[in-house]
Structure 1
Amino acid sequence: MNMLMTRDDTDPPETGCDVLIVEDDPAQAEELACYLSRSGLSVEVLHCGSDALHRVAGIRPRIALLDYNLPDLDGVTVAERIRRLSPETAMLMMSGRIDGLAEPTLRKVGLYSFMNKPVRPSQLLSSVRRMGRAAAKTGLPATAPHKWLGRMFG
């Protein structure tokens, strides 16, 4: 017997996942999700910005890993909207190229870090753990853009 369960507005919001990955490359998303899951983190993967924005308020992820070049919205726009919907979520952006990214814009959205693609899963896990520790100490989202942004845009 098949049962379809739906959620209405009277249901309590879902409780979160540790990490939300928003990445349009299914192979990259799967590799990162598997690695983080094997490390004991709960992970959800979405492939476009609009899906992430619809989902983020319900799951309240501790950390969002955002691709900059998504098919529908750029990563900065997604980060700005996540910041409004889920201010406690720490964010990290990933991209193979940084054309059009400006340091003040990235600081404004409060990104914790930026990683160049291809992202090594072990390096990503280290960043995720640092973000989690920083957020746990302060009770606020982990943001530390000043040092790494200067190096990136040097």
Structure 2
Amino acid sequence: MKPQVLVVEDEPALAQALADNLEAEGLAVSIARDGAQALERWQALEPDLVVLDVMLPRLDGLEVCRRMRALGYTTPVLFLSARGQPEERVEGLRVGGDDYLGKPFHLPEFLLRVQNLLRRRAQTRTAPSYHFAGHRIDFASWTAHLKDGRKEPLSERELAILRLFIERAGEVVSRDEILDRVWGQEVYPSSRTIDNFVVRLRRLFEPDPQHPVHFHTVWGVGYRFTPTPEPKDKEP
């Protein structure tokens, strides 16, 4: 079965051009013209990827993503926007986006980002779950099963960061390595983007996010993940 991509774009010519090129890459494509239609088709189709314009009629793309994440949908989201300032990119990531591409863009770069997101989604779908400190991370369903009984959806970036931390448990992982492994060749304003993701992970998994026992900051370098909390006298 072909991977399904939902393109949400209110400019008809651009929407059709994107659809034509994605179909030429062997993907199945559906188009939504506004935010309200995007909500309906996202839930009906459950696509493998959503290409989501930010500036949309009726409901903007940021709000569409925010609402779908609140409903538990973990589909990767590639934001498209003529507004490409760093704070706008960060906001797109904060509401649950996985990538952000400013308009105008080069078609080969767009297609490469689409393929990267689809490939990473396929990899996480076949991954096992991981248990620590009473929590369970289900990579197949993109869900965190927390020790208090709550279930929280995880974005693709969050899953990728968690996977890297788990692979390197107990070791210091630099921000540069995280950027390279999780973002690849994609360019973002600064490594502070990573910090925002770690803040979110702490809110989910730490007993006290202000005093983390699992996701430690190693100042000036990066982070260290400790599945089992260390004794107080060993804290850095």
Give the aligned partner of residue 150 of structure 1.
Answer: 189
Moved more, 86-95 or 31-40: 86-95
Q: Provide closer, same or farther for how the CA distance between residues 132 and 17 of structure 1 changes in structure 2, counting only shifts above 3 A.
A: closer
Whose strand fraction is larger, Structure 1's or Structure 2's? 2
Please state whether the residue corresponding to 2:55 is helix, strand or coil: coil
Measure, in 1, the Cα distance between the counterparts of 2:20 and 2:54. Answer: 21
Displacement after TM superposition at 1:17 (Å): 5.8
Query: Aligned AA for 1:142?
Result: E
TM-score between the two structures when normalised by the length of structure 2:
0.52
Give the aligned partner of residue 67 of structure 2.
Answer: 81
Gap runs ≥5 in structure 2: 126-141, 143-154, 162-178, 194-236
Measure, in 2, the Cα distance between the counterparts of 1:42 and 1:95. Answer: 23
Aligned pairs (5 A) from 1:1-154:
18-85=4-71, 87-98=73-84, 101=88, 103=90, 105-139=91-125, 140=142, 142-143=156-157, 148-151=187-190
Greater relative contact order (Cα 8 A, min sep 6): structure 1 or 2?
1
Contact map agreement 2:92 2:100 (CA 8 A) in 1 = no
Displacement after TM superposition at 1:143 (Å): 2.5
Please state whether the residue corresponding to 1:143 is helix, strand or coil: helix
Displacement after TM superposition at 1:86 (Å): 5.6
Moved more, 130-139 or 45-54: 130-139
Please state whether the residue corresponding to 2:189 is helix, strand or coil: helix
Larger Rg: 2
TM-score between the two structures when normalised by the length of structure 1:
0.76
Contact map agreement 1:93 1:111 (CA 8 A) in 2 = yes
Measure, in 2, the Cα distance between the counterparts of 1:124 and 1:22. Answer: 15
Q: Provide closer, same or farther for how the CA distance between residues 128 and 135 of structure 1 changes in structure 2, counting only shifts above 3 A.
A: same
Displacement after TM superposition at 1:22 (Å): 0.4
Displacement after TM superposition at 1:150 (Å): 3.0
Identity of aligned residues (%): 31
Measure, in 2, the Cα distance between the counterparts of 1:113 and 1:85. Answer: 20
